[in-house]
Amino acid sequence: MMSFRAKLLKIPVHAILIFFSIISIFPFYYIIVTAFKTDVEYYENTYAPPARWVFENIIKLIRDQGFLRSTLNSIIVTFLSILITLVISGLAAFAYSRMKFKFKEFLLSFTVSLTSVPIIIVLIPIYVLAARTKMLDSYLGVSLVYATFMLPICIFLLTSFFKSIPQELFDAASIDGCSRLQMLYKIVLPLSTPIITTLVVVNAAWVWNELLLAMVFLKEPEMTTVTAAFGLIAGQHGGVSPVLIQAGALFVVIPMILLFLAGQRYFRRGLFSGAIKE
């Protein structure tokens, strides 16, 4: 059994962990208790839970600011971006990890190096290309832009994971007459659930919270994403109605929390997948 002294030595560690946990949880608590208050109650009692929970702020954002449409826009853009990214990166990673062709290592290194390119440097050329191809203010257009920036890191991580899959599985599948595509969706993808889940969560969080590209490529009011809509009301009501701002923050925060909770079973495993070979 653990000695009394060992238990005492753990008290400061636990106290520090509790302290930082409270600091991490407090912003979310503040958003919740503020979003369901009236302006009057907020200024009377800022940090306490509301005496009467009201939904006026949520209704106002949906009715007057179009937050329901903006949330739907974000869901569509996020889904399309991740779908495009996973399909292309999965095929590319399979080729890099299991096929032999000239300049493979150079092409992989070049692809990975693209992760260091800042968005702002290539923003104007991509905008001009989107304008000439009439892809502005379209779900597909902005989704392709997001996928462009997500592909390098996804290809790198999936390639590392695919290389860790035993070659014997592919040899047995080849003997059974499986094509390369059949190997991909019958062997590789079922084994890749942790890394794919991790990529979905991480990339979804980035696309959902991204503001610059959303405001540049989706200018029409009916195409606005929820993050851009939140930025607009923050500019309009930031110093006037804090409760409305925090209600808007709920639309931004809640979907990503739900996504993380749904994928947390595989998230930790996915972070380290491919790092250690059996």
Contact 111, 155 (CB under 8 A): yes
Predicted confidence (pLDDT) per residue in 240-258, tens digit: 678 888 888 899 999 888 8
Judged by DSSP in three states, 84 sits in helix
| pLDDT the model gives residue 188 | 86
The yes-or-no verdict on residue 267 having pLDDT over 70 is no
CATH superfamily of 63-272: MetI-like (1.10.3720.10)
At residue 195, what is the residue type?
Answer: I
Report d(CA 33, CA 49) in Å as an integer: 5
| pLDDT the model gives residue 77 | 96
| pLDDT the model gives residue 269 | 60
Q: Token match 């208790």: residue? A: 33
Of 88, 93, 151, 106, nearest in space to 273 by CA: 93
| pLDDT the model gives residue 65 | 84
| pLDDT the model gives residue 207 | 94
Predicted confidence (pLDDT) per residue in 33-87, tens digit: 998 988 888 888 888 888 888 888 899 889 888 889 999 999 999 999 999 999 9
Report d(CA 108, CA 111) in Å as an integer: 5
Structure tokens at 163: 């290389």
Predicted confidence (pLDDT) per residue in 85-119, tens digit: 999 999 999 999 888 888 888 999 998 898 888 88
Question: Domain extents for the chain?
Answer: 4-35, 63-272
Judged by DSSP in three states, 31 sits in helix
The C-alpha R_g of the chain, in whole angstroms, comes to: 24
Which one is predicted more confidently, 139 or 261? 139
Look up the pTM and report it.
Answer: 0.85
Structure tokens at 35: 């979003």
The yes-or-no verdict on residue 171 having pLDDT over 50 is yes
